[in-house]
Structure 1
């Protein structure tokens, strides 16, 4: 890691400011030795909502139903874990995302490859709402969370300071 010093003048007094530059990866689409894939996934938001309010029923459909709007819930899948951000909290699950009966889909090919350990993703996910705020439908939703987690997995060489 390179360290740069900059001079700043405040009230005629020189100060040295230490500007640290963190190393980042520029391309995570190509696997490196020791890297693991991470995936972007989606789930049917309408099904999740209907399940939450108790209206989802396992029944046969009489005709093909096409969605009027393509509302989806997004999550990250990495190293056997699902990371999700919802209205109440951040969830890490080992076997399947919340509301597995709603047909979650893991997108292929992988969103990228990383050498970061799962422990880093766990720390980032658990501190996400403290650093970036609570759920907000328009400004801080599952898609914003998924993008931030993919940014960490894709570009960081070490676990970011805000996760520690």
Structure 2
């Protein structure tokens, strides 16, 4: 399997990404995600969200979700905004709208969640994911995306 870097992520599909996250030790993911390549990796993951969005499952869902990823350089956090409305999904790293749901987690937890390697409900129940706002939306996010199974 390839190394955990922005270059490798841009050249692999969702299933390979899932396998990469599963096969990479948490300590290595944490090390990479606290380095200067962190923004590139987060951008790569978030830029894929609209392509994995399942409009057929969204129905009339209308939501603004803020993803707050902790553990950046000098304790910084990165916030991305996902907007689901009118059967479409858009993402930005410049949040401007009031969120219906805000979820806070470290980078390792985030990557495990979006790669299908972590159970979001268990991560929430154990305090690894903190959610503020519409918790029923939090419980249904996974069904709105084609999350690969590692």
TM over 0.5: no
The structure that is strand-richer by fraction is 1
The two structures have a TM-score, normalised by structure 2, of: 0.28
Larger Cα Rg: Structure 1 or Structure 2? Answer: 1
